[in-house]
């Protein structure tokens, strides 16, 4: 049986999250600590305390680690509400990259690693990074990984360069992907390492200037210069990094969809209000068919995106990996929501490109969504291959 109803307690919690974001978080959207490199750590900490006071911090964490152990569908409902402001997920500690990193660590880390690297992220005390992408190396094709690690039986030595590393500046928990070279002790190949951000050998060259500004700390260019890590630093097993990255990516790309759905709804609500009140040629602009069609296209897209997300979540909640469906969701939702944001800019006229409303920020922030966690073309490539395999 297909059941689209939202249980009453979940609906009530969704409404509580939405109201929390509107009342307590939206006012921070004009805070100067929301910089061109994202919210500062000081701003993040202030927002986190607001969510903590409402018992809305890191609700997605497993029950045994202090969270509510939400299902994927429950996450979809609550993250959409949180996404009403791009600062909502930051406050509730369900923003990227921490959210995906917490998921990965809760699945793969051993008990000591959980205490040292995961718990401080769950409690909101520290942030985390996932360092994979490289200039000239790993990107859409992680098989091109060029950062290397050698192992002498006691220590790993990591060398390489990464970029687009979200939150690098100031994050404490670091997950680093490097290719373990052949050695007599452990299986070689792509491997994930865990360490602290202030470990000697991690050099943050600079924070990149990008068109988005919703991620704490922005996106860094990082160099590993003879970064020496003890053998306990391996996350999971050596040679398995690409498998773990997949484990992280399927749900992580869906949570991006959930949060951006909330942001797109916010943009639509602003566009609708404008279409009701702004007049041109003798009537509210919303009464011109050209504008009402833009708003209708948005409504259709929002609805389709929500159903696509829910379906992939439902599959995962029922034990399926849902790789194909999460690829369909990521590629279609990122493209459609960006069109929604663009149409909202259009309905707003000239002020759409100004910061008089938050629509401009949503539009710019959402552009990057079509690239990270797999560019649209890479997902379509995978979907096409699956279709051809039958
Ligand atoms: C805002 C933002 C945050 C990010 N945060 C992180 C982070 O925290 N950690 C991290 O490691 N990385 C991060 N990234 C990097 C992100 O994962 C990469 O941008 C993404 O994997 C694509 O890699 P690339 O940029 O090297 O593009 P490339 O691999 O150079 O690809 C460029 C383009 O080529 C096309 N293309 C590639 N392969 C195919 C194919 N098979 N078929 C058709 N077209 C194809 C696509 O159009 C693609 O956009 C972030 C990126 C952004 C934009």
Residue 28, pLDDT > 90, answer yes
Tokens matching residue 385: 């291959």
- CA–CA dist 363, 353 (Å, integer): 9
Enter the pTM of the model.
Answer: 0.97
Q: What pLDDT score was predicted for residue 3?
A: 87
For residues 210 and 35, the answer to whether their CB atoms sit within 8 Å is no
The CATH number of the structural domain formed by 8-95 is 1.10.540.10
Q: Compute the distance from residue 140 Cα to the ligand 1 centre, in Å.
A: 5
Among residues 196, 193, 194, the alpha carbon closest in space to that of 172 is found at: 196
Domain 128-238: top CATH class: mainly beta
Q: What pLDDT score was predicted for residue 2?
A: 77
For residues 195 and 231, the answer to whether their CB atoms sit within 8 Å is no
Q: Compute the distance from residue 135 Cα to the ligand 1 centre, in Å.
A: 11
Q: pLDDT tens for residues 130-139?
A: 999 999 999 9
Q: pLDDT tens for residues 126-161?
A: 999 999 999 999 999 999 999 999 999 999 999 999
Give me the residue spans of the domains in the chain.
Answer: 8-95, 128-238, 242-389
Which superfamily does CATH assign the domain made up of 242-389 to?
Butyryl-CoA Dehydrogenase, subunit A, domain 3 (1.20.140.10)
Q: pLDDT tens for residues 275-320?
A: 999 999 999 999 999 999 999 999 999 999 999 999 999 999 999 9
Which residue owns the Cα nearest ligand 1 atom 40? 378
Residue 201, pLDDT > 90, answer yes
Q: Compute the distance from residue 229 Cα to the ligand 1 centre, in Å.
A: 28
At residue 1 the predicted structure's pLDDT band, cuts being 50, 70 and 90, is low
Q: Compute the distance from residue 371 Cα to the ligand 1 centre, in Å.
A: 5
Tokens matching residue 140: 């859409």
Q: Is 378 in the pocket of ligand 1 (CB under 6 A)?
A: yes
**Residue 309: phi, psi to the nearest 5?**
-65, -50
What residues have CB less than 8 Å from 87, skipping those under 6 apart?
25, 26, 28, 29, 34, 39, 47, 214
Among residues 245, 216, 260, the alpha carbon closest in space to that of 140 is found at: 245
């Amino acid at each position: 049986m297909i059941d689209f109803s939202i249980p009453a307690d979940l609906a009530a919690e969704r409404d509580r999250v939405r109201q929390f974001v509107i009342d307590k978080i939206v006012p921070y959207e004009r805070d100067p600590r929301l910089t061109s490199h994202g919210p500062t750590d000081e701003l993040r900490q202030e927002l986190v305390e607001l969510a903590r006071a409402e018992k809305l911090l890191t609700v997605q964490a497993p029950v045994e680690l202090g969270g509510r152990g939400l299902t994927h569908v429950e996450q979809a409902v609550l993250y959409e509400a949180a996404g009403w402001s791009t600062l909502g997920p930051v406050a509730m500690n369900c923003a990227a990259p921490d959210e995906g990193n917490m998921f990965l660590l809760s699945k793969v880390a051993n008990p000591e690693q959980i205490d040292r690297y995961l718990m401080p992220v769950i409690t909101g005390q520290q942030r985390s990074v996932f360092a994979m992408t490289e200039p000239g190396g790993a990107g859409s094709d992680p098989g091109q990984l060029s950062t290397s690690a050698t192992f002498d039986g006691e220590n790993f030595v990591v060398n390489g360069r990464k970029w687009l590393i979200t939150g690098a500046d100031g994050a404490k928990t670091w997950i680093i992907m490097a290719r373990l070279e052949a050695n007599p002790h452990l299986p070689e190949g792509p491997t994930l390492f865990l360490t602290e951000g202030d470990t000697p050998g991690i050099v943050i060259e600079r924070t990149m200037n990008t068109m988005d500004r919703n991620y704490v700390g922005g996106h860094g260019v990082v160099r590993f210069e003879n970064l020496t890590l003890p053998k306990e630093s391996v996350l999971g097993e050596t040679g398995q990094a690409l498998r773990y990255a997949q484990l992280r990516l399927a749900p992580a790309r869906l949570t991006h969809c959930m949060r951006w759905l909330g942001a797109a709804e916010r943009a639509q609500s602003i566009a609708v209000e404008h279409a009701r009140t702004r007049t041109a040629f003798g009537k509210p602009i919303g009464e011109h068919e050209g504008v009402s069609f833009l708003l209708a296209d948005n409504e259709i897209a929002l609805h389709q995106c929500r159903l696509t997300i829910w379906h992939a979540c439902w599959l995962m909640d029922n034990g399926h990996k849902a790789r194909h469906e999460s690829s369909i969701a990521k590629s279609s939702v990122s493209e459609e929501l960006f069109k929604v944001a663009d149409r909202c800019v259009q309905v707003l006229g000239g002020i759409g490109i100004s910061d008089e409303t938050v629509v401009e920020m949503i539009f710019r922030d959402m552009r990057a969504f079509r690239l990270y966690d797999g560019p649209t073309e890479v997902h379509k490539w995978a979907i096409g291959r699956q279709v051809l395999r039958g």
